[in-house]
Amino acid sequence: MNIQSLAGKWQFRQADTDTWMPATVPGGVHTDLLNLGRIPDPFVGDNELDVMWVAETDWDYSLTFSPSAEILQGENIFLVADGLDTIATVYINAHKLGEVNNQFRQWQWEIKDKLIAGENTLRIEFSGPSTYVTHLQQQRRMKGVSQAIEGGPHMRKAPCQFGWDWGPMLPPIGIWKDIRLEARGIARLQDIHIRQTHHDGAITLQAWLELERWQPGALQAFLKVTDPNGKVLQAQENLSSTTGRIGLDIESPNLWWPNGYGPQSLYQVEVKLNSGNELVDQKTYQVGLRTIDLVQEEDEFGKSFQFVVNGIPIFAKGSNWIPADSFLTRFTDARLEKLIADAAASHQNMLRVWGGGIYEEERFYDLCDKYGILIWQDFIFSCSIYPLDDSNFFENVRFEIEENIRRLRHRASLALWCGNNEMEWGWESWGWQKNPMEDQLPQLVQQIPQLGFLLEAIKERDLLPDWEILKNAYDQFFHHTLPEWVADLDPDTSYWPSSPSSYTPFMDANSQKVGDAHYWEVWHGRKPFTAYRKTYPRFMSEFGFQAFPTLETIEFYTQPQDRNLTSYIMEHHQRGNHGNGLIIAQMTDTFRMPKDFTAWIYLSLILQAEGIRYGVEHWRRNMHRVSGTLYWQLNDCWPVASWASIDYFGRWKALHYAARRFYAPVLLSIEDKPPQMEINISNDTNTDFEGSLHWSLESVDGQVLDSGSLQVFAGSLSNSIIHHFDFAGEISGENEHETILVCELWQGETKISTSLGTFVPNKHIPLQQPKFESRVEKVETSLQIHLTSDTLARFVEMKLKGADTTFSDNYFDIPAGREVVVTCPIPSGWTFKEAKDALRIYSLTDSY
Ligand code: BMA
């Protein structure tokens, strides 16, 4: 096969105008306009509003190109577009090739009879997505999220690009993936399904081939598998029809493991198709050898929801993934790798590719395979009602889903296909359907007039006229059609109808007995963090708490006069209803009133970290019952106040540092019920843990009331209660404010973690202003900082002024007299002295 890329320099213009401007492909209108200086940066201030017209406008892309001699000689010449975003008409020279309407599909057209030697013109005319959905929404209303441009569910395009409760209303437009000419000869490898069968320690790897053929005759398929050590295995097969299988056995395989459970061994798999000595087509894959099962077994709590990899039950530690940029095509490979590596660095082993975003690109799954991140893959439907009863819409979705399952099913990291995000819950509880009781209400009100308010409430309810048809279509699609497609195309991966779901349609979607759960009572429901401890979901696939992004990121989108939490710009970069108010309210439960803007931001960051820690520690202590926690959300698509642990610019919020501690393979945690303190170790490694615990009941300035040491044994893959302290004799109203319990976990000579138990809320602890002593050394290319404090220093924040640096730990406690050692890379181009002098330390007492 001969390929000629059509990516690179194109031209674009606003439809019906004559000014052609340079465009980059893959790319999009917004980023091209931005590069040309024709729009302001939509991420700064409220420029978003001034830029929304772009998506209300139609745009044309054009390329003049000359096909190569090799292409022109081809028997069958195709134009292949891997991704067009989204509604467009494609022309080559004077010929219309077709109309497209799905961001997630690949498009191709036979163009041999339309292509000429010399100059050809390819033109793609895009409709403004906002105008398009608005028009359809006027014809038939669909429900969506309130922060979005209405009508998004009509278009097969990333739902969040129309706006979300963390995302701007800036739907991109353009050629967002590769585009090329392909001259295909005798045949091509249309699709390959790589399957693995595990038996008695060996693995049979098979490639199921589907060919597209233009000429009859014998073909030979070659399978070459290179193991992680470079050893090569090969097989060969003759093919006479359009399908075939080729396989080989791998004895003593190197298994692929999720992060923290073993290596991420990857095999390179190459499939070649020959006609005699002529190479006709080839494809390569990266494959990890593993089994992944979603085990659901009856138990004393209901039914488990446990991912089991290579026979080992995995506690899923992770977060939810959203598209990494509002304008995805500019997101570099390096930034993407940093995000995935950062997830792995905080011991995460699972990301949920959330259904309001996209089926991610190959590079994303390559990285998840590499870093051992299991993928919970939602199909792209979220929080909305979709016109699944419409046959054109349905057919479009069918192509999209089939294509994406085929594209991703061989991935080592792929753990689950899930129907959608929160739509079953929506049907059950968000007022999308008429409650079966409603018909009897008028009669009831006649008998009990006091219930009249219920009738009023129903009158105000915003029910779609065709809700029953839409609900039936939902039911049919997610409970019958889609699972059949998944079983047919990818029988080796489990399917789950919706997140959350209890597997009983429209019943108790957030069940604590079966299935996965989203818990939003803390945050949306305004409950305190302590409410987490009252929940025992079988798998917590969403929960979260917002914080502002880091100060440096806020400085990017604000002017000095905006730096007040309730200023117009700070609220513009907050999309959750009453979000800043929710942060403030919860903050006053925990911390003293902050003294200035810097303190507000700092406290919001540690509040979020503390809240999520509190939840995760509880669920990990109950790992026999709860099999995973995926906090909402890992990343941001623009600079904004949100639930993310890493902000848009890749800066770690305090939560991400906390995640590195609360997701540690061996976790020390204290279940505090003052004056009682229960010491736990959650060990999700394959090996038993042996070590010691040093504890000290002491005042904030380090005067010891009581202390001791314990030998610790914590069995593998389980939680162990190490000790139950009852300090009723030692703690009273007299000393509860200034007394803390310090627990340090040691493995041999190494302190692996420190945990504090307090007897009153943080805000009531009489902390003193710490006097820090630091010794800073250069170790290779890093700063090594030895930090001590004369009195308890809480949530110690380190920064290198003027540099974006990730520390080995941050926002940690230093009990009086203890030493904490932290490292960070010396920023490139900096001397050791410059880095040392730039070190800034801030802690809780600086915030008030
Ligand atoms: C969940 C998610 C998102 C949302 C988040 C925060 O419902 O699925 O839709 O952004 O909560 O509200």
Q: Describe the chain by its helix, strand, coil percentages, rounded to 5.
A: 25, 35, 40
Q: Atom 6 in ligand 1: which residue has the minimum CA distance?
A: 165
Q: Which atom of ligand 1 lies at the shortest distance from residue 421's CA?
A: 8
Distance CA 751, CA 622 (A): 25
**Which of the four pLDDT bands, split at 50, 70 and 90, describes residue 452?**
confident
CB-count exposure of residue 80 (10 Å: 0-12, 13-18, 19+): middle
With the most atoms of ligand 1 within 8 angstroms of its CB, the residue from 321, 354, 524, 542 to mutate is 542
Q: In the predicted model, is pLDDT for residue 819 greater than 90?
A: yes
**Which of the four pLDDT bands, split at 50, 70 and 90, describes residue 652?**
very high
Token code pair at residue 742: 């310090």
Helix axis angle for 362-371 and 333-345, nearest 10°, is 30
pLDDT at position 209 = 98
Give the Å distances, CA to CA, from 775 to 752, 785, 789.
21, 6, 12
Distance CA 476, CA 521 (A): 30
What are 89-99's pLDDT values in tens digits? 999 998 999 99
Q: Atom 10 in ligand 1: which residue has the minimum CA distance?
A: 165
Average pLDDT, the chain: 97
**Which of the four pLDDT bands, split at 50, 70 and 90, describes residue 441?**
confident
Q: Which atom of ligand 1 lies at the shortest distance from residue 356's CA?
A: 9
State the distance from the centre of ligand 1 to the C-alpha of 698, rounded, in angstroms. 42
**Which of the four pLDDT bands, split at 50, 70 and 90, describes residue 481?**
very high
pLDDT at position 393 = 98
The residues with which 193 forms a beta bridge, in sequence order, are: 208
Q: Which atom of ligand 1 lies at the shortest distance from residue 633's CA?
A: 5
State the distance from the centre of ligand 1 to the C-alpha of 362, rounded, in angstroms. 25
**723: Cβ–Cβ under 8 A, 6 or more apart, which residues?**
678, 679, 693, 710
pLDDT at position 482 = 98
Lowest-confidence segment of 237-246, 385-394, 454-463, 510-519 by average pLDDT: 454-463
State the distance from the centre of ligand 1 to the C-alpha of 159, rounded, in angstroms. 12
Distance CA 143, CA 141 (A): 7
State the distance from the centre of ligand 1 to the C-alpha of 521, rounded, in angstroms. 12
State the distance from the centre of ligand 1 to the C-alpha of 633, rounded, in angstroms. 9
Q: In the predicted model, is pLDDT for residue 436 greater than 80?
A: no
Across 573-597, b (16+ Cβ under 10 Å) vs e yields bbbbeebbebbbebbeebbbebeeb
Mean pLDDT in residue range 466-486: 98
User: In this structure, are residues 239 and 221 in contact, taking their beta carbons and an 8 Å threshold?
Assistant: yes
What are 527-541's pLDDT values in tens digits? 999 999 999 999 999
State the distance from the centre of ligand 1 to the C-alpha of 299, rounded, in angstroms. 30
pLDDT at position 457 = 79
Q: Atom 12 in ligand 1: which residue has the minimum CA distance?
A: 165
Mean pLDDT in residue range 322-337: 98
Contact residues of ligand 1, CB 6 A cut-off: 164-166, 356, 383, 421-422, 542, 632
Distance CA 394, CA 372 (A): 34
Look at the block and give the residue holding tokens 């739509």.
423
**Which of the four pLDDT bands, split at 50, 70 and 90, describes residue 459?**
confident
User: In this structure, are residues 102 and 88 in contact, taking their beta carbons and an 8 Å threshold?
Assistant: no
With the most atoms of ligand 1 within 8 angstroms of its CB, the residue from 428, 632, 640 to mutate is 632
What are 719-746's pLDDT values in tens digits? 999 999 999 999 999 999 999 999 999 9
User: In this structure, are residues 92 and 121 in contact, taking their beta carbons and an 8 Å threshold?
Assistant: yes
| Closest CA relative to residue 301, chosen from 704, 627, 681, 732 | 627
pLDDT at position 450 = 87
What are 517-526's pLDDT values in tens digits? 999 999 999 9
**Which of the four pLDDT bands, split at 50, 70 and 90, describes residue 121?**
very high
**Which of the four pLDDT bands, split at 50, 70 and 90, describes residue 800?**
very high
User: In this structure, are residues 623 and 682 in contact, taking their beta carbons and an 8 Å threshold?
Assistant: yes
Active site residue ranges: 422
What are 835-845's pLDDT values in tens digits? 999 999 999 99
Q: Which atom of ligand 1 lies at the shortest distance from residue 544's CA?
A: 6
pLDDT at position 645 = 98
Distance CA 646, CA 656 (A): 7
In percent, the amount of the chain with pLDDT more than 90 equals: 96
Amino acid at 294: L
The residues with which 353 forms a beta bridge, in sequence order, are: 321, 377
Q: Which atom of ligand 1 lies at the shortest distance from residue 164's CA?
A: 10
| Closest CA relative to residue 81, chosen from 10, 134, 22 | 10
Q: What pTM does this model have?
A: 0.97
State the distance from the centre of ligand 1 to the C-alpha of 661, rounded, in angstroms. 25
Mean pLDDT in residue range 321-340: 98
Q: In the predicted model, is pLDDT for residue 765 greater than 90?
A: yes
pLDDT at position 456 = 82
Q: Atom 4 in ligand 1: which residue has the minimum CA distance?
A: 165
What are 577-619's pLDDT values in tens digits? 899 999 999 999 999 999 999 999 999 999 999 999 999 999 9
With the most atoms of ligand 1 within 8 angstroms of its CB, the residue from 380, 422, 516, 540 to mutate is 422
